[in-house]
Amino acid sequence: MDFKIIDRKRAWDGYCKIDVYHLQHDKFDGGQSPVLQREVLERGHAVAVLPYDPIRDEVVLIEQFRPGTISVNASSSEMPVWLTEIVAGIIEDGESAEDVARRETIEEAGCEIIGSLDLISHYYVTPGCSSETVTLYCGQVDASNVGGLHGLAEEGEDIRVFTVPAEECFAMLHNGQLCNAMTTIAVQWLMLNRSRLRQKSGV
């Protein structure tokens, strides 16, 4: 299977960037698609990390305003505008995914990753219209003094940080409080790996 880019132009070059493609691709029946016009959002690649304290059996979560929720909330009021999430950030030039995970955990949650990171997944976010991927980790932290307000003022961040027992975090997933993909995937992974992480830490 192959594809051909006939034309590509940058239609918007702001905080987010939009490229307009004219392309064709092979079809499963052996033919070719018609020439398709597709807009693709280019916003970089993200890293997310679930900070977990296996000794205290607590998960560090954050809450912040997300503008992409506004139109959804207008028609579905049960969908929140302030989201409960895990730590995340965009990879900058010269950074590795692990660099971002450690930097963002300090900036957004006020704690540091202890030791190595566990890779959970590397996945496309919305491949029908965006090139963005997420590299998702779990990182061990000491959650004993975690909490309060964090984030970089120069980036307009206003982040509330809090901890919950792992079982309470799992209940939040079941009752729909965690309604973004990276947090859902990370918490599901923790449900499967929690015992291993605790045993590894001598609990």
- The model's pLDDT over 5-15, given as tens digits with 9 standing for 90+, comes to 999 999 999 98
Among 107, 155, 157, 168, the active-site one is 155
Q: Please give the share of the chain, as a percent, with pLDDT higher than 90.
A: 93
- pLDDT (tens digit, 9 = 90+) per residue, 45-57? 999 999 999 999 9
Tell me: pLDDT of 19 over 90.
yes
Residue 66 exposed, middle or buried by CB count within 10 Å (0-12, 13-18, 19+): middle
Nearest to 10 by CA among 43, 52, 40, 45: 40
- pLDDT (tens digit, 9 = 90+) per residue, 129-171? 999 999 999 999 999 999 999 988 888 889 999 999 999 999 9
Q: What is the mean pLDDT of residues 70-89?
A: 96
| pLDDT, the chain, mean | 96
Q: Quote the pTM value.
A: 0.92
| Catalytic site includes residue 157 | no
- pLDDT (tens digit, 9 = 90+) per residue, 20-39? 999 999 999 999 999 999 99
Tell me: pLDDT of 173 over 90.
yes
pLDDT for 157: 86
In sequence order, what are the residues at sequence separation of 6 or more whose Cβ sits closer than 8 angstroms to the Cβ of residue 31? none
pLDDT for 153: 85
Amino acid at 130: S
184 and 50 Cβ atoms separated by less than 8 Å: no
Q: What is the mean pLDDT of residues 174-178?
A: 95
